[in-house]
Chains A and B, each alone.
Chain A
């Protein structure tokens, strides 16, 4: 299964709505688990997280590292470019199709 970009957007929304922890894949290749988003202290099925799934964003926040996992408390989404990774032409809708 191809799990990035437009092809995987619907699946990413499903996972976020289901309360699976959402992460940011940094340009440094590291994964950052989001534990807080701006003023909302909840991080299970956070409504704002649903809206920025798959988007390329710039964030400010506080970073914690514990046992090999990077956790991010986002204080501000400074920029949101929307979805720029167009993968659907090659991969369709992942998984299950439409």
Chain B
């Protein structure tokens, strides 16, 4: 396949919940959902390329539902973070996933807010990304990890906040 395209990323973010149950984020097409499913490596499911241990958290993971459908998990509970770190510990196992099923005209995806080993494991919040980030960064508060992250700083320093070197925001 050949395509001319523009790289985009979806920005969604989360706020603190009061209990182990999904909360609304106000995204068009969202609906609260809790279901059991098997954690799988999406690339492995599609292509048969299946590295050991699911890629050690460096490959996008999905949820294989009992009806055979494969659901892309695009988000966890942290700001601007995915759910691979939350799911890798459950690779190949069934979990109870709690979060938001977001159906758009282009595709459906899932934002994981809480998870537990099925059927009755202990609930935990899907915020492993910031836990890991804080640990890797000397215990820094990770609430605004995206403004402190070395990879982000390097990229923005090189390309600028608008992605075009030399193009800077107007100063009021």
Q: Are A19 and B82 in contact (CB under 8 A)?
A: yes
Chain B residues lying within 8 Å of A53, measured Cβ to Cβ, are 7, 9, 163
A24-B6, A27-B3, A72-B1 are known contacts. Are A45 and B42 too (CB-CB below 8 A)? no
B85 at the A interface (CB under 8 A): yes
Provide the A14-35 mask, 1 if CB < 8 A to any CB of B, else 0: 1111111111111111111101
Q: Are B11 and A25 in contact (CB under 8 A)?
A: no
Chain A's interface size range is: 35 or more
B24 at the A interface (CB under 8 A): no
Q: Are A20 and B163 in contact (CB under 8 A)?
A: no
A41-B51, A51-B155, A73-B47 are known contacts. Are A20 and B164 too (CB-CB below 8 A)? no
A58-B3, A67-B71 are known contacts. Are A23 and B10 too (CB-CB below 8 A)? yes
CB closest chain-B residue, reference A78? B2
User: In whole angstroms, how far apart are the Cα atoms of A56 and B164 in the complex?
Assistant: 13
Partner of B81, one of A18, A49, A67, A98: A18
Distance of A93 from chain B, by nearest CB (Å): 6
Q: Are B60 and A35 in contact (CB under 8 A)?
A: yes
B143 at the A interface (CB under 8 A): no
Chain A residues lying within 8 Å of B4, measured Cβ to Cβ, are 26-27, 56-58, 79
Interface size on B, residues (CB 8 A): 56
Q: Are B152 and A13 in contact (CB under 8 A)?
A: yes
Q: Are B106 and A31 in contact (CB under 8 A)?
A: yes
Chain B residues lying within 8 Å of A51, measured Cβ to Cβ, are 155, 159
Chain A residues lying within 8 Å of B11, measured Cβ to Cβ, are 1, 3, 8, 11-12, 14-15, 94-95
Q: Are A55 and B7 in contact (CB under 8 A)?
A: yes
Among A28, A42, A62, the one with the most B-chain Cβ atoms within 10 Å of its Cβ is A42
Main secondary structure of the interface of A (DSSP, over half): mixed
Chain B residues lying within 8 Å of A20, measured Cβ to Cβ, are 9-10, 74-75, 80-82
Provide the A48-84 mask, 1 if CB < 8 A to any CB of B, else 0: 0111111111111111101111111100001100110
Q: Are B84 and A19 in contact (CB under 8 A)?
A: yes
B69 at the A interface (CB under 8 A): yes
Chain A residues lying within 8 Å of B55, measured Cβ to Cβ, are 41-42, 44
Chain A residues lying within 8 Å of B46, measured Cβ to Cβ, are 35, 64, 66, 71
Provide the B149-171 mask, 1 if CB < 8 A to any CB of A, else 0: 10110011001011110010100
Distance of A60 from chain B, by nearest CB (Å): 5
Q: Are A10 and B51 in contact (CB under 8 A)?
A: no
